[in-house]
């Protein structure tokens, strides 16, 4: 049903309309003082009529200007022949014309000084070559006019506090039930519409919603950045099919962290088909998704696996902060359900500590003798048959929440139905409002017999989970928002420009990889590069001892694959082995042979692999540590962080490895020099950290780690990428 006619905007009504946030920049798209709709239809049920209908029905208070030369009025609102005929300033233009007409509309929007346009039309890059050309033209016109464009092929914007429903998704036909500080931005319009509709069932009251579509101009991160600074937004949900600028994503995540906002992200497109081509062992073990995941973890972003988790986590954070730790207090009406909850919570890495003695003393009068006071707390169904214990469940929940050893409460209800279920729901809601700790509820009963109670939870914004497994997953996700302090980059011994030139020089064959490590301050065995048998004999005499001898060629990434590495070579055999290696290189078609590298043989130690890899996606380099040697890809015992890392982070990374006991002193062996590893990795990471967006791979394999106090030394290094731009 269309609302009462909207009076044509006048200067007085526009000047009286003020956004509560006084927005600037991109934030203005969610706080327009006036909206023009170009191509709006007169047919009430058509998609092109919905944005105008929804603006009217939701009570948008700013100016509304339909543009259609064939009508004087639509739905009680005056129509204008063109944008130029509108007598008032226009902030936001909704473009509802076919794809071919959008370019001219954007030009006209620029001519009248509009800030933002939303292009709903399809028929762009999603349709093929001609559509791609049209989308490129749209991008160019947007840049030329200064109009920021959302879309094309999108479903628009919503800002519930002002009734700004600039969308055609059918999900916006239902009333907005207030707003709870949660916003959503996603690329897919269809998924976004589903989320807008499903959010209501989870008790989520969305403040803002946006669909970015093909992202010809503004992308998902741009639009999200406009919301993360909004005073009405506390939790921001993102559905990302791709994130094209890692640096911008990190800025968004950091801004959310610094302002106390929670970012919850669902990302698709994780398949192996999306992985980039790599040459190093570490690069081969890292998926294209890893930099995104590491950046998210560093800045406290919560990553979820599906739409249900996205909604459940956001609904939980809507009413309470993330749990301070992994300790969960479980309250249930059934011992069996409590046992299931304990199993699922433990399976997700959460703890169920025994409640404090004082807590158990306070619980004892509230729970029947055959209940349980530990954790889980079993109040039993008998509790609800005793009138004198009316309201006891709320008191039990409050008592457990007061325990300092508990970070969050999980309540598992079974077949508690009808009026009793509604009463219990009200008690739990009252407790949740008084507690600063998250309260999660699983109700193991059909919605038909529990609808009144579920409505109470929904109104309070508390999600109800259909299983203890779903509850446990959400509790674990909410608790994953742990941030890592940003490392200090001041201890690099070379500046970023010098690091770039070193890596480029190596990639161009002008520098040996060993020279790069020397410049970066990474210890190596004494070595000589020789080109003749006579030079090999002299070098062997100078190095005086057993040797490691290796083919030196820029295009040969893994020398051991062709037998190009010889270890423990006596000095007297250096000329003989030199001849064998050069002959081997010729036999395998190595055309860029620099010579043979002779190194003083290192004492035995634990072999690690240390890698730094970076793509052109704007993320910082990934630092990877693991157990090295030729079998490193077989065992894949590696762990990663974004550069730069501090020494304490390196030690933590080493402890995460399955083979950590080999470093800490396994079966009576002396502990390894972990501090030396931390020094090498920290020094390398700080040198490469500023190189975000410069594709390169640097791999030390192996880094040989001696016993405590003996140091760590790079026995071999591979560097690729960083070609000089043409």
556 has a pLDDT exceeding 70: yes
Q: What is the rounded distance in angstroms from the CA atom of residue 52 to the CA atom of residue 64? A: 8
pLDDT in tens, 210-257: 999 999 999 999 999 999 999 999 999 999 998 989 999 999 999 999
Higher pLDDT, 32 or 604: 32
Higher pLDDT, 180 or 544: 544
Q: What is the rounded distance in angstroms from the CA atom of residue 517 to the CA atom of residue 521? A: 6
Q: What is the rounded distance in angstroms from the CA atom of residue 181 to the CA atom of residue 349? A: 29
534 has a pLDDT exceeding 60: yes
What was the pLDDT predicted at 358? 95
Beta partners for 551? Answer: 596
550 has a pLDDT exceeding 80: yes
pLDDT in tens, 324-375: 899 999 999 888 999 999 999 999 999 999 999 999 999 998 888 788 888 9
2 has a pLDDT exceeding 70: no
Q: Three-class SS of residue 610?
A: strand
Percent of the chain with pLDDT over 70: 89
Q: Three-class SS of residue 289?
A: coil
What was the pLDDT predicted at 7? 42
What was the pLDDT predicted at 486? 59
Higher pLDDT, 454 or 284: 454
pLDDT in tens, 682-717: 999 999 998 888 899 999 999 999 999 999 999 998
Percent of the chain with pLDDT over 90: 68
Question: Which CATH code is given to the segment(s) 11-233?
Answer: 3.40.50.720
**Same fold? 11-233, 526-600:** no
Phi first, then psi, for residue 202 (nearest 5°) are: -90, 0
Min mean pLDDT across 56-60, 515-519, 577-581, 605-609 is at 515-519
**What is the pTM (predicted TM-score) of this model?**
0.86
What's the whole-number average pLDDT of the chain? 88
Confidence tier at 71 by pLDDT (50, 70, 90): very high
What was the pLDDT predicted at 500? 78
What was the pLDDT predicted at 561? 85
pLDDT in tens, 377-415: 998 877 666 555 457 888 999 999 999 999 999 999 999
What was the pLDDT predicted at 383? 64
Per-residue pLDDT averaged across 607-620, rounded? 93
517's enclosing H/E stretch is helix 513-520
Confidence tier at 274 by pLDDT (50, 70, 90): very low
Confidence tier at 285 by pLDDT (50, 70, 90): very low
CATH topology of domain 606-721: D-amino Acid Aminotransferase; Chain A, domain 1 (3.30.470)
Q: What is the rounded distance in angstroms from the CA atom of residue 549 to the CA atom of residue 679? A: 27
24 has a pLDDT exceeding 90: no
Question: Which CATH code is given to the segment(s) 526-600?
Answer: 3.30.1490.20
Query: 10 Å Cβ neighbour count for 397?
Result: 25
**Exposed/middle/buried for residue 32 (C-beta within 10 Å: 0-12, 13-18, 19+):** buried
Every domain of the chain and the residues it spans: 11-233, 323-478, 526-600, 606-721
pLDDT in tens, 567-585: 999 999 999 999 999 999 9
What was the pLDDT predicted at 483? 59
Kindly give, in sequence order, each residue whose CB lies less than 8 Å from that of residue 243, ignoring residues fewer than 6 positions away.
Answer: 220, 221, 249, 267, 292, 617
Phi first, then psi, for residue 60 (nearest 5°) are: -60, 130
161 has a pLDDT exceeding 90: yes
pLDDT in tens, 88-107: 999 999 999 999 999 999 99
Per-residue pLDDT averaged across 277-293, rounded? 59
What was the pLDDT predicted at 13? 35
- On whether the CB atoms of residues 601 and 567 are closer than 8 A, the answer is yes
pLDDT in tens, 467-496: 999 999 999 999 876 655 555 544 555 677
Confidence tier at 558 by pLDDT (50, 70, 90): confident
Cis amide prior to 169 (ω within 30 degrees): no
Q: What is the rounded distance in angstroms from the CA atom of residue 466 to the CA atom of residue 448? A: 13
Architecture of the domain defined by 323-478: 3-Layer(aba) Sandwich (3.40)
51 has a pLDDT exceeding 50: yes
Q: Three-class SS of residue 673?
A: coil
């Amino acid at each position: 049903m269309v609302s009462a006619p909207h009076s044509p905007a006048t200067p007085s009504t526009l000047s009286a309309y003020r956004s509560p946030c006084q927005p600037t920049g991109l934030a203005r798209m969610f706080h327009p003082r006036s909206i023009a709709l170009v191509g709006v239809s007169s047919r009430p049920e058509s998609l092109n009529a919905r944005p105008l209908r929804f603006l009217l029905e939701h009570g948008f208070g700013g100016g509304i200007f339909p543009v259609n030369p064939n009508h004087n009025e639509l739905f009680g609102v005056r129509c204008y022949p063109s944008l130029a005929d509108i007598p008032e300033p226009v902030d936001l233009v909704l473009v509802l014309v076919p794809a071919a007409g959008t370019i001219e509309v954007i030009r006209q929007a620029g001519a009248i000084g509009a800030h933002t346009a939303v292009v709903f039309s399809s028929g762009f890059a999603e349709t093929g070559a001609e559509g791609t050309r049209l989308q490129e033209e749209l991008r160019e016109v947007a840049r030329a006019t200064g109009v920021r464009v959302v879309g094309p092929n999108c479903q628009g914007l919503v800002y519930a506090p002002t009734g700004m429903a600039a969308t055609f998704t059918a999900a916006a036909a239902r009333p907005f039930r207030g707003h709870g500080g949660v916003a959503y931005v996603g690329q897919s319009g269809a998924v976004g519409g589903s989320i807008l509709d499903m959010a209501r069932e989870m008790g989520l009251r969305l403040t803002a919603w946006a669909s970015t579509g093909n992202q010809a101009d503004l992308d998902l991160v741009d639009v999200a950045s406009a919301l993360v600074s909004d005073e009405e937004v506390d939790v921001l949900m993102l559905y990302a099919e791709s994130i094209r600028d890692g640096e911008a994503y990190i800025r968004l995540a950091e801004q959310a962290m610094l302002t106390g906002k929670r970012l919850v992200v669902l990302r698709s497109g994780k398949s192996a088909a999306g992985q980039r081509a790599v040459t190093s062992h570490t690069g081969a073990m890292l998926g294209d998704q890893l930099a995104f995941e590491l950046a998210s973890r560093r800045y406290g972003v919560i990553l979820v696996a599906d739409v249900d988790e996205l909604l459940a986590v956001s609904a939980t954070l809507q009413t309470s902060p993330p749990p301070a730790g992994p300790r969960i207090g479980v309250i249930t009406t059934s011992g069996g359900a409590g046992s299931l909850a304990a199993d699922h919570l433990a399976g997700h890495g959460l703890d169920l500590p025994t409640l404090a003695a004082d807590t158990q003393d306070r619980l004892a009068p509230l729970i029947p003798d055959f209940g349980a006071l530990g954790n889980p707390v079993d109040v039993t169904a008998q509790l609800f048959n005793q009138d004198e214990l009316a309201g006891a469940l709320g008191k039990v929940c409050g008592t457990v929440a007061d325990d300092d050893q508990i970070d969050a409460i999980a309540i598992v209800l079974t077949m508690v139905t009808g009026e009793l279920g509604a009463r219990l729901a009200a008690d739990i809601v009252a407790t949740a409002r008084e507690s600063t700790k998250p309260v999660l509820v699983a109700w193991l009963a059909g919605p038909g017999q529990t609808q009144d109670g579920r409505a109470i939870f929904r109104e309070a914004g508390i999600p109800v989970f259909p299983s203890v497994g779903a509850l446990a997953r959400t509790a674990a996700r909410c608790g994953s928002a742990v941030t890592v302090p940003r490392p200090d980059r001041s201890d690099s011994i070379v500046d970023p420009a010098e690091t770039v030139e070193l890596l480029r020089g190596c990639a161009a064959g002008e520098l040996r990889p060993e020279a790069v490590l020397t410049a970066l301050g990474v210890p190596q065995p004494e070595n000589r590069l020789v080109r003749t048998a006579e030079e090999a004999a002299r070098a062997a005499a100078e190095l005086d001892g057993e040797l490691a001898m290796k083919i030196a060629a820029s295009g040969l990434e893994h020398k051991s694959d062709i037998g190009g590495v010889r270890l423990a070579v006596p000095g007297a055999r250096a000329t003989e082995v030199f001849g064998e290696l050069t002959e081997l290189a010729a036999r395998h078609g190595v055309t860029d042979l620099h010579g043979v590298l002779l190194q003083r043989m290192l004492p035995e130690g634990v072999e690690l692999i240390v890698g730094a890899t970076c793509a052109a996606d704007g993320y910082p380099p990934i630092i990877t540590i693991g157990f090295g040697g030729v079998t490193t890809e077989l065992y894949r015992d590696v762990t990663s962080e974004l550069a730069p890392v501090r020494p304490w982070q390196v030690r933590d990374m080493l402890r995460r490895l399955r083979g950590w006991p080999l470093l800490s002193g396994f079966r009576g062996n002396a502990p390894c020099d972990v501090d030396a590893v931390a020094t090498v990795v920290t020094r390398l990471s700080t040198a490469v950290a500023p190189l975000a967006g410069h594709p390169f791979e640097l791999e030390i394999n192996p880094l040989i780690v001696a016993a405590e106090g003996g140091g760590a030394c790079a026995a071999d290094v591979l560097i690729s990428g960083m070609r000089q731009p043409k």
